[in-house]
Structure 1
Amino acid sequence: MLGCVIHGQGDLRVDELPTPSPGPGEALVAVRYGGVCGSDLHYWRHGGVGDFRLREPMVLGHEIVGTVLAYGTGATGTLPVPGTAVAVHPATPCGVCPECADGRRNVCRDTRYLGSAARTPHVQGGFATQVVVPAEQLRPLPPDLPLRRAVLAEPLSVALHAVGRVGDVRGKHVLVTGAGPIGCLVVAAAKAAGAARVTATDLLPRALEYAVAAGADSVVRADEPSSPDWPSEVDAAVEASGVAAGLDTCLRLVRRGGVVVQLGMLPPGRSAFPGNLLVSREIDLRGAFRFDREFDTALTLLASEPRFDRLISAVLPLTEAEPAFTLATNRAESCKVLLDFTPH
């Protein structure tokens, strides 16, 4: 069995791994597709994501879909029968911490998340021919939702959660800074939630084309401050670029009393931002981290919107993992890059 393993900064390998067997309450899944996420790229290029640093080899990947192969003993409930196409929810909250008790399982202090170095030993990810996951994390795909599109369920859930953190966006003008894969999905999520207008910004023309494909009503180059396409004011903003300049833009353009959601993971350490605007304009600045029950909503939305296929820019076999990661870093050419785990 093969898997995509990060051994350290810049050291990505396709390794032979032991074939797993499901234990009590677990499911064995044959992975078909995996989406290369920005966090996967950070582990590869920088040896960590934000404050989460690699300390040991780790199988990457948390955006995975495939088919059920088998269950271990004690897997109970209404479970998809073997052979069913499924998406895998990547989070296993502890269920007992104060955050879980408060209904905010996405910020559980003791969660396990596929392909994450947030804890040691690291939680191994899903970029492997076969994976074992808790059976309760399987989600059967809606009818007519192809596996290839279903792999977007995890990043779309992140986007849906971010839009949910804004609040009611119906009839409002929403700004999205950063038109990478997550930013484009935020555009789609905001439109699905009823936003009257969505403006997306980025430095790259190709990224802005993907934002239009996702449903943006207007796009603007982030490095052209004098462009007439810049809105004079927006009702809410989601910062999806992960750079301080994007947060600065959001705070300066959102209306008084508006909401800014920081979704992109900023570099480790301190980040400068115009904090006085929070005071003088009474702006609400909120964080958005991962997701919880939005996963099921994402699958339903994907089943109803073929336009999401436009955001998948390339599909490469697992054996070409490093070229796939290289392509995914080239935002001038790509949006969402997938790995195909079909045995060849």
Structure 2
Amino acid sequence: MHATIDDESDLSIRTMRSSVLHPDGGLTVEDRPVPTPGPGEVLIRVSAVGVCGSDTHYLRHGRIGTHVVETPLVLGHEASGTIVAVGGGVSRSRVGERVSIEPQTPDPASDESRRGLYNLCPHMRFYATPPVDGALCEFVTIGAAFAHSVPDRVSDEAAALCEPLSVAIAAIRKADVGMGDSVLIAGAGPIGLMCAQVARAAGATTIVVSEPDPDRREVARRFGATDVVSPGATVDPVGAFIDASGVEPAVIGAMSALRPAGRAVLVGMGTDTMALPVSLIQNREIVLTGVYRYANTWPTALSLITSGRVDLDSMVTGRFGLDDTRAALDADRIPGSIKAVVYPGMPRHPTSGTDRPTPTTDNT
């Protein structure tokens, strides 16, 4: 380690607090060793961690597809922080830099990485994907190239939410949405709302969001939707469809709204298989594809945030300390909740000596 924690001012830190998910569904806060950055890596003091649907799925079901929680796991992959140490080959000038973390470590020698599709690398190590630990702890390491510098005007929360924003950017790119285009988005959860914002920033003039919850439909209007409908409603033909719901009826129903040669992009992960209208896809030559994470999106994400074209700060509706991780993971069940954020470094309570800040929620 070339530089030490807090600009070489604190050599005593050897352990950190971590929120740990166990195979039986239990959550504990434990002391773990502070990781040491290897060659080409940086050590980051974590500032903020967004809660993703995959985190809650691991908590409630113990698995996502073939990824199973078989050993204790630290959740969290939407993260920001400050570089406090660097490994070999990384300039010490980066110590003190605020960063947004791209939480993946691909094999640079894989065929996919060499083609620029590093998100599809078969040897990928991704935060909070068993058995790789995530960021619900005080310190993490990541390759220096995946720690993206953020300007002071970008909040810790927005820097953390560059990760889900990157999913939306990847989806809009796949859908080939541009100036004057029309798009239908199924689902007004965080990803759906971010897709609406990115579509607006890309120049789409018709952005229809389909969502069963009337309150969420109104929220979608605030975040870029030009129109909102209930699932199953008839809409004018659109050039692109993005599913951010993972619900089979939503996907099948939206296919009929696509114009010939339209593009359908599947983002939501609700089921492993679903029936598709094959004759419709063939007869209209619809292009059907999926999105698996992202690649080469962070510069775009940060540009959208700093330019004001995308608003992530307003999406944060709940703030929690590390000891309240379970409440943060269950915040999606609170009416009006959009995005919960955990702060691993929240100060200890002055009387109890433990990190138990009062959770805050904003359901307006």
Length-normalised TM-score, structure 2: 0.86
Gaps of 5+ in 1: none
How many angstroms apart in 2 are the aligned matches of 1:129 and 1:9? 24
* Mapped pair 1:287 → 2:290: yes
* Mapped pair 1:210 → 2:219: yes
RMSD: 1.7
265, 277, 280: which one aligns with 1:277: 280
How many angstroms apart in 2 are the aligned matches of 1:105 and 1:85? 24
**Are the structure 2 counterparts of residues 80 and 4 from structure 1 closer, same or farther at C-alpha, using a change threshold of 3 Å?**
farther
How many angstroms apart in 2 are the aligned matches of 1:298 and 1:9? 36
Secondary structure of 1:189 counterpart:
helix
Secondary structure of 2:169 counterpart:
helix
Gaps of 5+ in 2: 1-15, 349-364
Aligned to 2:102: 89
Aligned to 2:268: 264
How many angstroms apart in 1 are the aligned matches of 2:62 and 2:244? 21
Aligned to 1:116: 129
How many angstroms apart in 1 are the aligned matches of 2:261 and 2:60? 38
Aligned to 1:68: 83
Cα deviation code 1:41-83 (max 9, x no counterpart): 111111112332222211111110011111123325xx76222
What are the equivalent positions in structure 2 for 1:138-157 lying under 5 Å apart?
138-157=147-166
Length-normalised TM-score, structure 1: 0.91
What are the equivalent positions in structure 2 for 1:53-202 lying under 5 Å apart?
53-76=68-91, 81-117=94-130, 122-202=131-211
Secondary structure of 2:137 counterpart:
coil
How many angstroms apart in 1 are the aligned matches of 2:262 and 2:78? 32
Secondary structure of 1:8 counterpart:
coil
How many angstroms apart in 2 are the aligned matches of 1:174 and 1:89? 27
| CA positional deviation for 1:127 | 1.2
* Mapped pair 1:48 → 2:63: yes
Aligned to 2:34: 19
Q: How many residues are paired up? A: 331
* Mapped pair 1:304 → 2:317: no
How many angstroms apart in 2 are the aligned matches of 1:286 and 1:72? 39
Structure ranking higher on relative contact order (CA contacts 8 Å, 6+ apart): 1
How many angstroms apart in 2 are the aligned matches of 1:300 and 1:266? 31
Identity %: 34
Q: Is the CA contact 2:50–2:157 (under 8 Å) kept in the aligned structure 1?
A: no
| CA positional deviation for 1:290 | 0.6
Which has the higher Rg, Structure 1 or Structure 2? 2
**Are the structure 2 counterparts of residues 94 and 214 from structure 1 closer, same or farther at C-alpha, using a change threshold of 3 Å?**
same
Q: Which range moves more in the overlay, 40-49 or 303-312?
A: 303-312
* Mapped pair 1:325 → 2:329: yes
